[in-house]
Amino acid sequence: MRVSRALLAAEAVVLPTLVSTLALGRTADGMRPRGYEQASDHDAGTPYQNGSNLPRPMPPNQSEGTVKLLPISIVHEFGVGTFVENIAVRSNGLLLVTTPINGQGAHELVQVDPFNRGRRPVVVARFPFNCTGIVEVERDVFYISVVDLVNPPSPSSALYRVDVGGFAADSGGAVTHPADVQRAVALPNMPYLNGATIVDRARGILLVGDAALGTIFRVDVRTGAVRVLVHSSLLQPRPTSPIPGVNGIRVRDGVLYAANSGTAQLLQAPIDAGATRLLGPLQVLQENLVGDDFALDAHRSIYLTTHIFNSVVKIDRHGARTRIAGGPASPLLAGSSSAAFGRTARDRAVLYVTSDGGLVAPVVGVVRGGKILAIQGAKTA
């Protein structure tokens, strides 16, 4: 459908809100988060090659490497105006996605069955503010980043605990047994909570990033303790840009990976087993590649969603890039935002990808519904 006045109005709200949110991260005291203990000796980051820590300009050309497009299909398409932000896969194969905004103004966690695509999605939880990151800490227990992006920074920013172990719904989508939803860990005055990742399931340790502050926090969900793992200019957004800073974050084999959307860089740093500190400075792993969130496979290949470039790019362990889905003018992958691999025997090679349908950056002037898509054979690409 063509962009309606209502959708243009919605976009006019979203983009300035992000601009003002990102601006809040730039304070006179060096853009540092206030009120949280510093956990890392390497919180200043590493100067870029030219010796400057200033955010770099957006690259003139997105560099996505060779093109080897894989089969892709739609698992579910939401209504126009729904931003499908992040995804997690349950052990039973069902998908959970966060929708920070939708056409009705709600902020929801939604469950979708990828094996029965005619079945209606089910709303698992509704939140008072925008829901962004999602991470599983123990079986069927997920923590959701919730932040007020309209009036940041807000004392209401928090992690919500959602236990879906007993959640059930009938074939029509009506909930027969609700999930247990609790506001679990307060994260006050964080303006733009975004990506999250698990570090230690047994101890309940996770990391959550703030895309405005340029900070990654270590959170103990058992005790509620929160401290700064790393605060760096390399994680901050570019000045006066609506594109966020640190976005997707992952930890694998003693390495922290982070995507900075605004500077078009992928970063890495060694990290200790309990995520109490970085063992070295942040370094640039990839550049000239705008990325949102991403998935990792067992071989440490990165599957990066590019959001405004409407694609998914695989980066192998040697740094070679291959675009495996979408492209600059792709309506199917418009606004690709996050990715996760299936967890059952039926879909372990399937990469599930979310999108906003072009809500932030319409493809040829058209906004579509946000989607969940399935890329076949991604792990063997």
E-assigned strand segments in 178-225: 180-186, 193-200, 205-210, 215-220
Q: Evaluate if pTM is beyond 0.75.
A: yes
- Parallel, antiparallel or unpaired: strands 158-163 and 180-186: antiparallel
In this structure, the number of other CB atoms found within 10 A of the CB of residue 68 comes to 11
In this structure, the number of other CB atoms found within 10 A of the CB of residue 277 comes to 18
End-to-end, the C-alpha distance of the chain in Å comes to: 33
Per-residue pLDDT tens digits of the chain, which is 381 residues long? 333 333 333 433 444 444 344 444 443 334 456 666 665 444 433 322 332 333 344 455 789 999 999 999 999 999 999 999 999 999 999 999 999 998 888 999 999 999 998 899 999 999 999 999 999 999 999 999 999 999 888 889 999 999 999 999 998 889 999 999 999 999 998 999 999 999 999 999 999 999 999 999 999 999 999 999 999 999 999 887 778 999 999 999 999 999 999 999 999 999 999 999 999 999 999 999 999 999 999 999 999 999 999 999 999 999 999 999 999 999 999 999 999 999 999 999 999 999 999 999 999 999 999 999 999 998 755
Instruction: Determine phi and psi for 5, rounding to 5 degrees.
Output: -60, -35
Tell me the C-alpha distance between 342 and 293, whole Å: 16
Tokens of 92: 């039973």
